[in-house]
Structure 1
Amino acid sequence: METRAQTEDPALRQLREEFTGHRIWRARRSDGSPSDWVATLRDPAAGVDATVICRDSEELRVALVHERQRAAGRSVVKRAW
């Protein structure tokens, strides 16, 4: 569950607005303090790796730009199961 402090974090809000194909959140340490920055893929057209984990918001942003470029270089096949 995300706390109010997480949703009000400007860096978190900016990443969520820029990378809508991922669910972006902060991991928590055992003491409850914020830890790594995490992006979970929701839209296969937005990335390749299912989960991206970085130490800070800028590193995550760079990684997600790279994911976007990787996804643009491949075709996404939608299957009807």
Structure 2
Amino acid sequence: MDTRTHPDDQALARLREEFTGHRIFRAIRSDGLLGEWVASLHDPRAGVDPTVMWPTAEELRAALLKEAERAKGKRDGFR
């Protein structure tokens, strides 16, 4: 039995662990292959945009860090 984990699976698990306010998954393209990395907002304290999509896990992570800062700014602006 092959128990090796694909690097994309590892990246997906890390993103899900780090950004718990989002549902993170890979989109499926029309040809059935994996497409964009997607984060769907579930906790308004974690971001502003309802959906964030990027071609790579690294780009999605960077965008989600910016989303967290935007959400923090939004909260701080109400004080």
TM-score by shorter chain over 0.5: yes
Task: List runs of 5+ in structure 2 lacking aligned partners.
Answer: none
Tell me the equivalent position of 2:50: 50
Query: Identity over the aligned pairs, expressed in percent?
Result: 58
Mapped to 2, the partners of 1:37 and 1:11 lie a distance apart of 10
CA distance in 2, matches of 1:51, 1:25: 11
What is the CA–CA distance in structure 2 between the aligned matches of 1:64 and 1:18, rounded to whole Å? 10
Shift of 1:52: 0.2
Q: What does residue 41 of structure 2 align with? A: 41
1:33, distance to aligned residue in structure 2 (A): 1.0
Q: CA RMSD in A?
A: 2.0
Query: 1:69 aligns to what?
Result: 69
Shift of 1:53: 0.5
Cα distance in 1 for residues equivalent to 2:31 and 2:61: 26
Kindly name which structure, 1 or 2, has the bigger radius of gyration based on alpha carbons.
Answer: 2
Number of residue pairs the alignment of both structures matches = 71
- Which runs of at least 4 in structure 1 moved beyond 3 Å after TM superposition? none
Shift of 1:32: 1.5
**How many angstroms apart in 2 are the aligned matches of 1:70 and 1:30?**
32
> Tell me, which stretches of 5 or more residues in structure 1 are unaligned?
77-81
Distance 2:29 2:73 in 1: 36
Q: Displacement, 1:22?
A: 0.2
